[in-house]
Structure 1
């Protein structure tokens, strides 16, 4: 993906109006993400941890508890802002964009994200599915569609940059060995869903005369990982900015619908936690929304006095195996395949219609480099995990090394989802007409049905036994 924005980063200025960039946004995201992982590991290897830096509000049930916790960790929040601001500013400056304008807006984004984190830490938040990324998304959507944002805030709403950093950090929380621990069932089910959903959306879109590139973005957005997948594929096939924005809007709308609908239907059907989590992981379109839905069902099982079978944590475990491990790995696969197809088949000489000759360099230039960062991060943590048993990994490595990275990742995703909300206009969806909605909704229906059949019937014994 190029260093130019595709997803509606309102603050992006044409590079011709700024200094000559050094590197690309993808590589800067990879560098920042991997540097964070290296620092976290160095601290862990020295017998310490960066938990003091990767702060987040603790659970609270009264305002007094919240203010006391925030006051006790004030230095940590200040340090975290300084670290984020310094790292991001270095990249912004290297890309030839105005650092001062970015910092002014980023301060507001950070403070808003901290408030969102605090709301998500409320003791009753899980009852209402109030996960921080989901709150950020909903808040941003409300503000952007009801009010006019000040122009000085726009440079800090860098959707792509935040999500790329978050995806690299995501790799550190998913060692490659987790795929082995998950077994062939999760990978197989995710593969079936990814392929079938993509071809249904793409086929319906093409039948409705939607452009190939737009159809591809819609297809992968529904088949894999929602927003981040749409971003990656838009860059791989060079879809237009507004096409990626419409795809993201559709993903957001359906993700919000599913975060409430899937747990509710699972309750009505009385599904075991592992089976419900697998269905949510197969049918949800965004990691943050899916995590909220899976966690909500697990909490329901915990307080349902035996009304739901399965361990409460199995819901979230199944979701992670299905969505984060099984489906999300298809981002790189689809990006690579579609970049080749777009370069070798879709692009023809405008003058004589002769098919353009493929160039390996062109394919490479379009490939989303942050996926490489994801793989490097995952391989690195796999190496660390190889020195521990699964039990020791969970009890020793996860709290001191992985958990702080998870916190940093959640901050990055919160920045991203808040920025998505603040730069998404529902009027774009209306302006695109009903065809994209019809195509994407066809995939939603297929996704939910296939996910139900595979989770509740075909692979039910595997998912029901998860966590036992």
Structure 2
């Protein structure tokens, strides 16, 4: 792709549009994410309704025998190749219709897809996964190593489209944000999620402003701390079209904090004699993924696992609400053309609805539509049967995205970024999160307001 052309960017209103591309001028990166995500979701639904089972590659393994006999078997490698072919075909269509260089993109995509699969295989190891080190961290590290120790050739740059991959994955993520999960969580879980998410989010943003962290950075940090770590950071960054360096920085912070929290918090539950169910709700409200909550809860006891998963599901549902509200607020307040590195310019007049619509990230609409359809229009058993496949597809998009983010980020930028102030903000907000969530876990799950749940 020529250096001065962004193939996925919308065409400026005053720019001449070739006649044959008039009908494509509004199909920017956000809309292509909705289209491709929608195609994959619709295909999975149709296949399931017709009894066709979709198989995706397997990445989970525990020893060398499984690695060579299952993960690197001819059958699984063929599945990896077929999956890559489908993703390549879909993305090539969007790149071609957006004016990209197809030849370069194909070569670059294949390379990035292979790197993402290396990350999946490393992250699929049972011992590594136990400590909460998922494929995301390895995809990011692989990208960082390549981006910082070699010059990115033109053929590879054409395929480095992190925002496009992230937004498409987020549309598919909407299928897993279900209203039924919120209902199943029960009133204590819902109340804890509302109180914890809102209080921690605003505290984190306030602390960031006190430490002179710009609002773009602050929103990504606040969402990561208050909701569910990496996934929430991705959603928030997508909703405000955030700087990829900042997203990669926050992702690194989340993963660095996750390991000691997963070890220390269960230990504190035992040392401080915190009731098992209260401890589980505490873990679910503070640890970032269901996997880490389950692993930490297992150290405490089976009731802690169930309480933790309920609390975590309650918070996960708020990803969609947060994405929608953040996107509207950012589109309404952020002046057009303001440099990404700056904060909000509150002296600029409020834009009208037309400008808000222009700035609003359209992929959020796809995310919400997917959530509504899977919550209310489809049978619960069918949704449950499709979940593993859709989660697998979403993970592939995110794996591609984080390899690209790593390639675009520089170690020097991550070290120098805002003189460490975002890290201080994150740690301070996480400490507040830990204390605040423990208080409400006691109040809501300790029998003071509601009966103690029977998870035996």
TM-score (norm 2): 0.79
Question: Which residue among 353, 359, 368 is the counterpart of 1:375?
Answer: 368
Q: How do 1:42-441 residues align onto structure 2 when only pairs under 5 Å count?
A: 42-50=46-54, 52=55, 54-63=56-65, 66-69=68-71, 70-145=73-148, 147-151=149-153, 152-224=155-227, 241=243, 245-246=245-246, 248-269=247-268, 270=270, 278-284=281-287, 290-297=289-296, 300-301=298-299, 308-310=300-302, 314=306, 317-318=309-310, 320-327=312-319, 329-342=321-334, 355-383=348-376, 385=378, 387-388=379-380, 393=381, 397-399=383-385, 401-429=386-414, 430-441=416-427
Query: 1:34 — aligned with what?
Result: 38
Q: Give the C-alpha shift of residue 406 in structure 1.
A: 1.4
Which ranges in structure 2 are unaligned for 5 or more consecutive residues?
Answer: 340-345
CA contact (8 A) 1:335 1:368 kept: yes
| CA–CA distance in structure 1, aligned partners of residues 280 and 364 of structure 2 | 26
Q: 1:222 to 1:233 in 2, by over 3 A?
A: same
Q: 3-state DSSP class of the match of 1:156? A: coil
| CA–CA distance in structure 1, aligned partners of residues 260 and 452 of structure 2 | 21
Q: 1:221 to 1:265 in 2, by over 3 A?
A: closer
User: Considering only aligned residues, what root-mean-square deviation do their CA atoms show, in Å?
Assistant: 3.7
Deviation string, structure 1 residues 116-144 (Cα, Å, up to 9, x no partner): 32233334343444432333234434554
| CA–CA distance in structure 2, aligned partners of residues 407 and 463 of structure 1 | 38
| Larger displacement relative to structure 2 (155-164 or 83-92) | 155-164
Query: 1:4 — aligned with what?
Result: none
CA contact (8 A) 1:175 1:382 kept: yes
CA contact (8 A) 1:92 1:99 kept: yes
| CA–CA distance in structure 2, aligned partners of residues 62 and 81 of structure 1 | 25
| CA–CA distance in structure 1, aligned partners of residues 275 and 263 of structure 2 | 13
CA contact (8 A) 1:33 1:169 kept: yes
CA contact (8 A) 2:204 2:222 kept: yes
Q: 1:463 to 1:13 in 2, by over 3 A?
A: farther
Q: 3-state DSSP class of the match of 1:189? A: helix
| CA–CA distance in structure 1, aligned partners of residues 115 and 276 of structure 2 | 33
Q: Give the C-alpha shift of residue 259 in structure 1.
A: 1.9
TM-score (norm 1): 0.77
Tell me: higher relative CO, structure 1 or 2? Use CA pairs within 8 A at least 6 residues apart. Answer: 1
Q: 3-state DSSP class of the match of 1:56? A: coil
Query: 1:305 — aligned with what?
Result: none
Which ranges in structure 1 are unaligned for 5 or more consecutive residues?
Answer: 1-9, 302-307, 348-352
Q: Give the C-alpha shift of residue 100 in structure 1.
A: 2.4
Q: 1:312 to 1:157 in 2, by over 3 A?
A: farther
CA contact (8 A) 1:274 1:463 kept: no
How many residue pairs were aligned? 427
CA contact (8 A) 1:197 1:223 kept: yes
Q: 1:284 to 1:97 in 2, by over 3 A?
A: farther
Deviation string, structure 1 residues 144-174 (Cα, Å, up to 9, x no partner): 45x2253243333322222212211112123
Q: 1:238 to 1:40 in 2, by over 3 A?
A: closer
Deviation string, structure 1 residues 63-116 (Cα, Å, up to 9, x no partner): 465345531233322221111001112222233332322221211221122223
Query: 1:449 — aligned with what?
Result: 435
Deviation string, structure 1 residues 417-448 (Cα, Å, up to 9, x no partner): 33333333342241422433333433222222
